[in-house]
Structure 1
Amino acid sequence: MDKYADIRPYNDDEVADAVARLIADNAFVDLIAKRNLPSWLAKVPFLSRPLVRSGLKRKWGSVKSVRQVQLEVVHYLEQIINNTTSQVTFSGLDELDKNGAYLFISNHRDIVLDPALVNFGLHQFDMNTVRIAIGDNLLQIPYITELMRLNKSFIVKRSAKAPKEMLRALTQLSAYIYDSLTEGHSIWIAQREGRTKDGFDQTDPALLKMLQLNGRKQKKEFADYVRELKIVPVSISYQYEPCAVSKAKELYHKKHHGEYVKQAGEDIESIVDGFTSDKGHVHLAFGQPISHDCDTPEDLAKTIDKQILESFYLHPGNYIAAQHADAIVDSESNDVKEFDKRMSAIPDHLRDLVMAIYAKPVLRKEEMDR
């Protein structure tokens, strides 16, 4: 009996059927047409759909395994990196065991790019890619579900509300993560539910309590169980924050109007914006596996935060926003001009909020050093 069938990624024997469902999905085909065909043609479905389906069948019709899917994803990710970044760099990966299975816990700035870039780094260093935790709030559209589960994503049931239902979902999730690691599959999960909107990267102890549910079932002490999980903090730093303006709009709305309710399709727009917007230099710093001084979820959260904050790569914009321009070297003067240009284009009522996103890592590093 497959006890994880409702949350796990697709297996190889399920790939062909999932691809066939994608190619048959009019909403998915129309999205591809909108992005790849002339606008006049994309608006005429009886012409555009056969063209797109024919192209998809040529490219994806022979895909039968998860590895084949991931090789195609790498191709698209390379295009995104070449078109929207100046460079993507990595540190710390050379210190990890290439054959090891790790629980990567990272700060969360972009819905899809964060784990995608983690995978890109692992691929560059000839390491196995991760299984990716993704909230079911992002899976309201069938083709999104198919794409995510094809690309090694597993489902976090955030929509569970009743206490017993929530406990069952979290217990299943905790066991799935542990079993994946035991079987040699690395995992990526964000340090908190949802992206940070204000630049304050902080691990939620509730996430770590969820991880311990399976350890408690095995009657293991928290510190011992943490060592088994091989948790590696990952710090992701974008020179130009993905979706910075939309994040600021959300913060502004909450401040002046109370609760912010997302519109239908807003998460999809954020995903597309993250893919297409210019991100400049992106750096991912992989930390050391956590093995001691973590007797409680709160202790572990502090340890993860310390590694993420210490290794966070500061770009010129971070220093400018924190009013520490004296820390910028002359060779980065073009980056300074570009950052100033970007900030001047932001509406006046949102500019301070965007600047605060960039400033926060600098200010927190200063607090840590005191």
Structure 2
Amino acid sequence: MPSLTHPSSFDSIRPFEPNELPEAFERLLADAQFRSAMAYVFPDIPFPSFAEKLRSCRTSMDVQKTFAYPFLAHLLETASKGGSMDSTAIDPSRRYTFVSNHRDIVLDSAFLAKFLIDNGFSTTCEIAIGDNLLSLPWVKDLVRVNKSFVVERHLPVRQMLEASKRLSAYMHYAISKKNENVWIAQREGRAKDSDDHTQQAVLKMMALEGEGDVIDRLKELHIVPLAISYEFDPCDYLKAQEMQLKRDVPGFKKSAQDDVVSMQTGILGYKGYVHYQCAPCLDGFLDTLDRNTPKADLFGIIARRIDREIFLNYRFYPNNFIACDLLADSHQLEHHYTPQDRSTFEQYVEDQLSKIDLPEKDEPFLRRCLLEMYANPYKNHLSAK
């Protein structure tokens, strides 16, 4: 069996190499569901032209520039008020592991790839994606064509440790040997209530491989906390609905179809303004830590630092302040918004609530869930200050 540092040990999880792309393209082009999805996403491109353009791509970066970049640019024009990223705190000539809060299944990493190009980076990022989203073979092919690597989940304990070590080794390999950036969410799954906190398990996985002690291993990954701020979350009502189902239905778990609906809603729904803010790389902070700190404490310290950087770097919109005031039944933050802003947001909340179809719909609970999604980032920002 190859060692975890040998490239062949990553074959089951890594993105496709250039020599593997032609075969993957043919599998995709022959798949009826893929053809249908592409006809929906690119309605103005006849399928023979689409197939010709896809086959002409030599690398995953070619695929991203040919298809993903123009699609995302169009999406920002039609389903948002515009998007931006401030990366002045980092050096575009270096490679980083971006650890971000997680709002949207697809777009969090997709927009990052676009913004990296816009901000002068010579490459985009490899994307950590859970295998729970890859139940369809063509979807797994598509994400691996698009520079994604697979996070294996829900394995027996012994296999899970091996999978975590392989994932950690691959991230180190992508940064140090492939000269790629990496994106990974700060936690498994989206924070449904936008109360964003880094799971120590993510950091522990990242430190399983590499050279030296925990601090050295994490420094090898050049971690950059990334704050993602959407003015509107198109999936907010779906998240609220899921929160009631988890409250009321013992053992409730989302289906694969639920994930598909969330992906479609998140991609196509209206997002308002979109902003990404890069905090400074954590390497300098890691150098200040006492290397004799017990590991259990050390991971907590680093997780809290990432949280603090994300909290401090959110961008706020009137919705965030209005949600805080509505929850507190006050006008304390009204200097951040107009009466019209408040009226518009209150109507937006009612409209989103009307989309929720549950047999025993708990409107007060659901309304509170929706408001907390918009209020929690500002609350956390205040706590970090």
Would you call these one fold, judging by a TM-score over 0.5? yes
Is 2:144 aligned against 1:152? no
Q: Tell me the residue number matched to 2:160.
A: 166
- 8 Å contact 1:136–1:159 — kept in the other structure? no
1:178 aligns with 2:172: yes
Instruction: Count the aligned residue pairs.
Output: 352
Match of 2:200 in 1: 205
CA offset digits 1:61-118 (Å, max 9, x no partner): 3222222101021011111111111021222x12311110101100001011001111
> For the structure 1 residues 101 and 258, does the alpha-carbon distance in structure 2 shift closer, same or farther, using more than 3 Å as the test?
same
Q: Match for residue 250 of structure 1?
A: 242
Tell me the percent identity. Answer: 32
Distance in 1 between the 2:323 and 2:94 partners? 39
Unaligned runs of 5+ in 1: 39-50
The corresponding residue for 1:81 is: 76
User: Where do residues 108-127 of structure 1 align in structure 2 (5 Å cutoff)?
Assistant: 108-127=102-121
Aligned-partner Cα distance in 2 for 1:355–1:237: 16
Distance in 2, Cα, partners of 1:342 & 1:132: 32
Q: Structure 1 stretch 348-357 or stretch 326-335: which is displaced more?
A: 326-335
DSSP-derived class of the 1:229 partner: coil
Cα distance between partner residues in 2 of 1:334 and 1:280: 16
- Cα offset for 1:342? 0.7
Select which of 314, 321, 324 maps to 2:323: 321
Give the match for residue 359 of structure 2.
Answer: none
Residue 226 of structure 1 corresponds to: 218
Residues 42-53 of structure 1: pairs in structure 2 closer than 5 A: 53=47
TM-fit CA distance, 1:304: 0.3
Instruction: Give 1:223 shift.
Output: 2.0
2:35 matched to 1:19?
no
Aligned CA-pair RMSD: 2.1
How has the CA–CA distance of structure 1 residues 90 and 264 changed in structure 2, closer, same or farther, with 3 Å as cutoff?
closer
Correspondence for 1:269 among 261, 276, 281: 261
Query: Secondary structure, in 3 states, of the residue corresponding to 1:3?
Result: helix
Kept after mapping to 2: 8 A contact 1:109/1:242: no
**Residue 68, structure 1, aligned to residue 62, structure 2:** yes
C-alpha distance in 2 between matches for 1:330 and 1:208: 36
- Report Cα offsets for 1:224-263 as digits up to 9, x if no partner: 2222221100000110013000000011111122332112
2:382 corresponds, among 361, 366, 369, to 366
User: 1:367 Cα shift?
Assistant: 2.9
Quick one: distance in 2 between partners of 1:286 and 1:230?
13
Give ranges in structure 2 of 5+ residues lacking alignment.
Answer: 1-6, 355-362
Deviation at 1:308, TM superposition (A): 0.3
- Following superposition, the deviation at residue 58 of structure 1 comes to 3.5
Corresponding residue of 1:45: none
Q: Secondary structure of the equivalent of 1:248?
A: helix
Displacement after TM superposition at 1:28 (Å): 1.5
Give, as a single letter, the amino acid of the residue that structure 1 aligns with 2:12.
D
Amino acid across the alignment from 2:36: D
Assess if the C-alpha contact under 8 Å between 1:239 and 1:279 holds in 2. yes
